């Protein structure tokens, strides 16, 4: 399995190098793409996904994306869409996004506009109820994993934020957690739960982490997101929860539970580190209303006057 992953990583890397070698001007285009993504504060995965797709289409046609005609591109994208059962969740999406980003970068907005529109499914996030949270947090055998999952939920952390969290970021004096240079290169503070602090202290004295709050296999190196995902899968399996649960489900549950407990949406936006309020407003559709006068009309059908 590990050899297959290594081969895949090598293949992912070499498709860009191949395009740089075979397609005149691609190396310059890729450099401009990388600069733009870095300056915009976007993630490395954005560069990886877009770079691969631009390399793929350039190698297919033997020329740069800006030199591919509209008809050629339409036929190519239509072929991709036919091969995929769910284009909006496939390579098709990243190809369109990568091309659109490239055309905007080059000032070719008309070509960007003519690309197909990706219609995202409006799915609401999966959210755990409080009993499910409790079951999951007590499921792991290792104290480290119990504290890790509890902390992610308690502070609404993204997976990368939890991975990069350092011991020094836990401010027990102010009862705050300092989240550094997260998405959009923004810092933020979130409240530190007193109960979580108790668990963190117990974990610290038992495991003696070095620099990072949760170490990987080597002391002083962070626990990888993949390692955290494994811990979550084991906890879900042991607690026998049936929902489709990811690390991000804990963040969704955090936001939803805050809303249900009466916190205002603007405060939740700041705690989550969202750039735009409409991203946070999705939880308005998930949270259970806390008004007590709500009922189902079905119950009133059989109510005796």
Closest listed residue to residue 181, CA positions, set 60, 38, 30: 38
* Catalytic member of 53, 93, 146, 158: 158
Q: Average pLDDT in the 246-260 region?
A: 94
Q: How far apart are CA 154 and CA 133, in angstroms?
A: 11
Q: How confident is the model at residue 184 (pLDDT cuts 50, 70, 90)?
A: low
* Catalytic member of 183, 188, 189, 204: 183
Instruction: Output the six-digit token pair for 242.
Output: 């049936």
Whether 251 is a known active-site residue: answer yes
What pLDDT, on the 0 to 100 scale, is given for residue 298? 61
Model confidence over 86-95: pLDDT tens digits?
544 568 888 9
Whether 164 is a known active-site residue: answer no
**Burial grade of 207 (CB within 10 A; 0-12, 13-18, 19 or more):** middle
Whether 158 is a known active-site residue: answer yes
Extents of the domains making up the chain: 2-113, 130-285
Beta-bridged to residue 176, according to DSSP, are 171, 191
* Catalytic member of 111, 251, 252, 257: 251
Whole-model pTM: value is 0.64
What radius of gyration do the chain's Cα atoms show? 23
Q: What does CATH list as the number for 130-285?
A: 1.10.443.10
What pLDDT, on the 0 to 100 scale, is given for residue 1? 45
Instruction: Output the six-digit token pair for 116.
Output: 């197909």
Model confidence over 278-288: pLDDT tens digits?
889 888 888 87
Whether 248 is a known active-site residue: answer yes
Whether 183 is a known active-site residue: answer yes
Contact 133, 153 (CB under 8 A): yes
Whether 119 is a known active-site residue: answer no
Instruction: Output the six-digit token pair for 149.
Output: 């999952």
| In the predicted structure, residue 23 carries a pLDDT above the cut 90 | yes
- Any long-range contacts for 65-68 (C-beta under 8 Å, 24+ apart)? 65/29, 65/99, 65/102, 65/103, 66/102, 66/103, 66/106, 66/108, 66/111
């Amino acid at each position: 399995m590990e050899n297959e992953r290594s081969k895949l990583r090598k293949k992912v890397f070499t498709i860009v190098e191949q395009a740089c070698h075979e397609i005149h001007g691609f190396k310059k285009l890729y450099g401009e793409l990388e600069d733009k993504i870095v300056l915009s504060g976007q993630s490395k995965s954005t560069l990886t996904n877009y770079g691969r797709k631009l390399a793929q289409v350039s190698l297919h046609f033997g020329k740069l994306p800006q030199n591919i005609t509209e008809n050629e591109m339409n036929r190519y994208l239509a072929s991709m869409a036919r091969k995929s059962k769910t284009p909006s969740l496939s390579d098709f999406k990243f190809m369109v996004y990568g091309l659109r980003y490239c055309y905007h970068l080059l000032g070719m907005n008309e070509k960007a506009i003519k690309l197909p529109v990706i219609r995202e499914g409006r799915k609401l996030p999966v959210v755990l109820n409080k009993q499910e949270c409790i079951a999951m947090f007590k499921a792991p055998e290792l104290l480290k994993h119990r504290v890790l999952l509890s902390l992610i939920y308690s502070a609404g952390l993204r997976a990368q934020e939890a991975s990069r969290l350092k011991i020094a970021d836990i401010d027990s004096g102010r009862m705050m957690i300092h989240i550094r240079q997260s998405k959009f290169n923004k810092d933020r503070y979130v409240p530190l739960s007193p109960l979580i602090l108790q668990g963190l202290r117990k974990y610290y004295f038992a495991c003696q982490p070095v620099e990072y709050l949760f170490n990987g296999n080597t002391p002083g190196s962070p626990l990888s997101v993949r390692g955290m995902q494994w811990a979550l899968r084991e906890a879900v399996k042991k607690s026998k929860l049936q929902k489709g649960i990811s690390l991000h489900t804990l963040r969704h549950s955090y936001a939803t539970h805050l809303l249900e407990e009466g916190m205002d949406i603007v405060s939740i936006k700041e705690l989550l580190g969202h750039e735009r309020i409409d991203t946070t407003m999705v939880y308005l559709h998930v949270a259970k209303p806390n008004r007590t006068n709500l009922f189902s009309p079905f119950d009133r059908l059989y109510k005796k006057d």
